[in-house]
Structure 1
């Protein structure tokens, strides 16, 4: 059981994915991103290698639709996969195999694409896309708003136990990579709290990486 949204910010060029699932550690298997290239969610009966494979296709100049077609052609079990992809230009594509679990839906929106399986109802995904498109917050915050909207619309059929949000910017490492790998209750709420704690420090960590001379002091031993 999984819901996800992949998106692009036209102002910053950031790409991101927010995702939740009944399974443990969804953030370790399903979201795949490459700065300046694209974002892919490989879900349902997950084959993690499809993420890097589609990103490589995008990097080589393939369109999102071409990247998906290539990936499912090379996967003998593609009927069990649900895939979404968005590229750096905001173009998206999606696929749900015939063996996708339960009630499922995929919706392509403006600079976003959302998908889910084992849903309480198909409107869950519509609510996620609308919430993202209506948001005027940062990409990370907008992704979390969309995830919460899906939950409020009914979410998944069963209990949700893990959630993640990942965003890339201009750097070869993620700008945001936050995960709740297991929670007995409401990992999306815990993920939102993680973001609220991390957001005020986010730019400082970028500065530390790019120019340590300009990094703020945190008053720890050896850091004056």
Structure 2
């Protein structure tokens, strides 16, 4: 058995009645943590975000389905609450009705912490009487924040305040602000290790593979929230890159340049963003501008020059032989 699991498992058994020893399985995660579930009233998007001193917390705590709802299941985690809670919501039950049904059939309810938001923004939260102090939750308009094993009792209020104070931000950034608020109030008494951010559409589409709008995880890090924020900014940068590519397809070169520049502003050190920006310019007969971008890229990493040689074969670079020679010889 994992040596880190032994003391926590012993603590769990001490908390429960003797007959309840079978409630907890050694394979289940001990996600003592803080989290938020929320619905964006403007977009209908549904989300859950979490941070914990536990490896890969996002694989245990956070669950969401487009057009259905979001669930956070933590403390002495019952992972089945995620898929089962979503199934109950999908069957037509409200967040509270779904939570009531989950807890009714769970003998370990006193050590569970669960929060649910449904597709109408209704929230339901449970903090078991035997969750480890400091433990609690706070509900707001279409969101709920919850925490257990915190350093201070101020975490839920700090999360709620941060979420509400950043109403002008997109939902993913608001969730991150809430997590940062929790950390600012002391956070997990054990420290930090992993974090996750999951956002889905408010309505399911006919292309379910596109319904997860943001799905980011930091499984192990000394600064998981800082890394989660970096990944979110990187995702935003690639959204600009995708928008730039679409603008190129529509022959909107000024629009493409604006999007590429926005992407590069978010991550100026990312060579790939600069590279495809340059290739798009070259394909639009703006070779001098393309070369200005390509020269430092080739100097820093020669493999990009090798890749450029291969692009004409698949139609991704449409230059004359002389123009291609000029590009490949750029220094």
Deviates more, 1:92-101 or 1:142-151: 92-101
Q: Which has the larger radius of gyration?
A: 2
**One of 9, 19, 27 as aligned partner of 2:58:** 27
Task: State yes or no: 1:14 paired with 2:51.
Answer: no
**Residue equivalent to 1:200:** 237
In 2, Cα distance between equivalents of 1:181 and 1:46: 17
Distance 1:133 1:111 in 2: 11
Question: Can you list the C-alpha shifts for 1:57-76, whole angstroms capped at 9, x where unaligned?
Answer: 11111111110110011222
2:86 equivalent among 22, 40, 55: 55
The correspondence for 1:138, drawn from 147, 159, 170, is 170
158, 162, 175: which is aligned to 2:213? 175
Partner of 2:72: 41
Gaps of 5+ in 1: none
1:90 aligns with: 121
Q: Superposition RMSD on alpha carbons, in Å?
A: 2.2
Q: Which runs of 4+ in 1 moved over 4 A?
A: 203-206, 216-223
**Deviation string, structure 1 residues 62-109 (Cα, Å, up to 9, x no partner):** 111110110011222222210000111111000012221221010001
The one-character-per-residue Cα deviations of 1:3-44 (angstroms, maximum 9, x if unpaired) are 001111111110111100010000011100011111100000
Indicate conservation of the 8 Å contact 1:175/1:202, yes or no.
no
**Cα deviations by residue, 1:145-196 (Å, 9 ceiling, x for unpaired):** 111011111111111100010100144341100110001x221111101101
CA distance in 2 between partners of 1:106 and 1:223 (Å): 56
Aligned-partner Cα distance in 2 for 1:140–1:65: 24
Quickly say closer, same or farther: Cα 1:175–1:102, change in 2 above 3 A: same
Taking structure 2 as the reference length, what is the TM-score of the superposition?
0.62
Equivalent residue number for residue 152 of structure 1: 184
Structure 2 residue matching 1:141: 3-state secondary structure: helix
Mapped pair 1:190 → 2:221: no
Structure 2's unaligned 5+ residue stretches are 1-31, 251-255, 257-272, 280-306, 317-331
- Structure 1 residues 177 and 99: alpha-carbon distance in aligned structure 2, compared to 1, 3 A threshold: same
Residue 79 of structure 1 corresponds to 110
Bigger relative contact order, structure 1 or 2 (CA pairs below 8 A, ≥6 apart): 1
Alignment of 1:160-171 (within 5 A): 160-169=192-201, 170=203, 171=205
Paired residues in the alignment total: 218
d(CA) in 2 for partners of 1:92 and 1:34? 15
Q: CA deviation at 1:204?
A: 6.4
Indicate the SS of the match to 1:175: strand
Which structure dedicates a bigger proportion of its chain to strand? 1
